[in-house]
Amino acid sequence: MARELPDGSTVGVDTSDTQIRDGKLYALDHDGMLRVKQVHRLPGGGLRLVSFNDEYPDEEYTVDQVAEAIRVIGRVFWSAAFW
């Protein structure tokens, strides 16, 4: 997420906004890992997680994988980098 969120950035998360809107940034609890990713819905209830860092390819998860391991914490509405 380096272009959008440099390492060490602070983010504001709206925890009441957990309904996925394609292309928005979300804070996620992914099997115990805190992640911030651009999220897209897939047909059948799956998700595609996108990183703006070209080092990391897009990740796709089925509806079953999402139900088992991914919880949307909320939509990222603000970020700031402090150097």
Q: Please say if the pLDDT value at position 2 is more than 50.
A: no
| CB neighbour list of residue 54: distance below 8 Å, 6 or more residues apart | none
Residue 3 lies in a domain: no
Residue 66 lies in a domain: yes
Q: Please say if the pLDDT value at position 76 is more than 90.
A: yes
Residue 2 lies in a domain: no
Residue 44 lies in a domain: yes
Give the model confidence (pLDDT) of 20-72 as tens digits. 999 999 999 999 999 999 999 999 999 999 997 788 899 999 999 999 999 99
Q: What is the pLDDT of residue 1?
A: 46
Domain CATH number, residue 46: 2.10.109.10
Query: Could you tell me the residue range of the domain that residue 53 belongs to?
Result: 10-80
- Domain total for the chain? 1
Looking at per-residue confidence, does 25 or 9 come out higher? 25
Statement: the pTM of the whole predicted model exceeds 0.85:
yes
Residue 59 lies in a domain: yes
